[in-house]
Amino acid sequence: MTKRPNILIVYTGGTIGMVKDYVTGALKAFDFSQISNKIPELQQLHCTIETISFDEPIDSSNMDVNYYVEIAEIIAENYTKFDGFVVLTGSDTMSYISSAISFMFENLQKPVIFTGSQLPIGDLRTDAKENLITSIQIAAAQENDEPVIQEVGLYFEYKLYRANRTTKISAEQFEAFSSMNYPPLVESGVHLNFNYPILLRSQNKEENLIFRKKLDNNIAVLKLFPGITEKVVKSYLNIEGLKGIILETYGAGNAPTKKWFLDILEAFVKKDIYVVNVTQCAGGSVILGHYETSSSLKHIGIIDGKDITTETAVAKMMYLLGENLAKEEFRNYFESPLRGEINE
């Protein structure tokens, strides 16, 4: 008999944890300590399940870096006691949260699977049960006495993605997330089909988990659009304490070549404000210098975000700013894959 994996469910809030009061019609938070009563199918899984819930469920729109740290601390404090973790959050900001957690853990050798649902767990047609059951099953999957998944993933509607590759694409469909630049780690059908060649593996098996919880959120996102004014872009120079900007450009990293725009970007760089170029496109990559409209950005010293998502660029910048790196170190780390978030 193999050892039964111990799985910890961490409930922070979100639709998945809501049940309807059929008398009043109101939604209320579900007591996850009674999860087996609501989903008796869990008893068929070959694992032991425990739960920890936030004292007050947090709507995903109210998530901030303090909650990121709280989630990560729960995992870090219980890391040696459990074989895998399933974190339940609201789906609206799940890509941001899970991406941040992926950077906060170095040398992770156990699964941390984020999931949620579009409908509450008590609804007749809910997607919550399948998402939760399969997430637990994936978190419990082991081969040769070690977890198959050893990274932060996001599971929704039959697919496990690398969390820091995801974007929420639908507020209505059960298939709420996509990973345009990276294939699924696992696809759920009659069997769980693991995409073994692309799974992350720690290079330091003997090293302990390193938990980095210094996140600096003095950043902003600036999305370009045709007709954006000098006044709007210039206003970012006046944001007190600003340390970084995620610049959402067109296509393969293209931006206006007007003198006022380039002058302002140069002013950011001279003020030691990091500017990272990411594409507005759902898929594809920034290729600085590929077109004339991006070669000027490369000359100024804008950081190449490559094929990183905006959500992950935000998380990665918070993480790297918290490490107090020298300028060139920051650039080198941002332009290199740290947790599988970008292609080489």
User: What region, left, alpha or beta, does residue 281 occupy, with left being phi > 0 and alpha being psi -120 to 50 degrees?
Assistant: beta
Tell me the CA distances in angstroms from 203 to 35, 182, 334, one per residue in order: 36, 21, 20
Per-residue DSSP letter, 239:
S
**Residue at token pair 């109101």:** 26
* Residue tagged active-site, from 12, 15, 166, 249: 15
Mapping DSSP to helix (H, G, I), strand (E, B) and coil, where does residue 274 land? strand
C-alpha 110/C-alpha 85 separation (Å) is: 8
Q: Please tell me whether residue 131 adopts helix, strand or coil conformation.
A: helix
Q: How many CB atoms lie within 10 A of CB 41?
A: 11
Element (H, E) at 315: helix 310-321
Whether residue 93 lies in the annotated active site: no
> How far is it, in rounded angstroms, from Cα 321 to Cα 324?
6
Active-site residues: which are they? 15
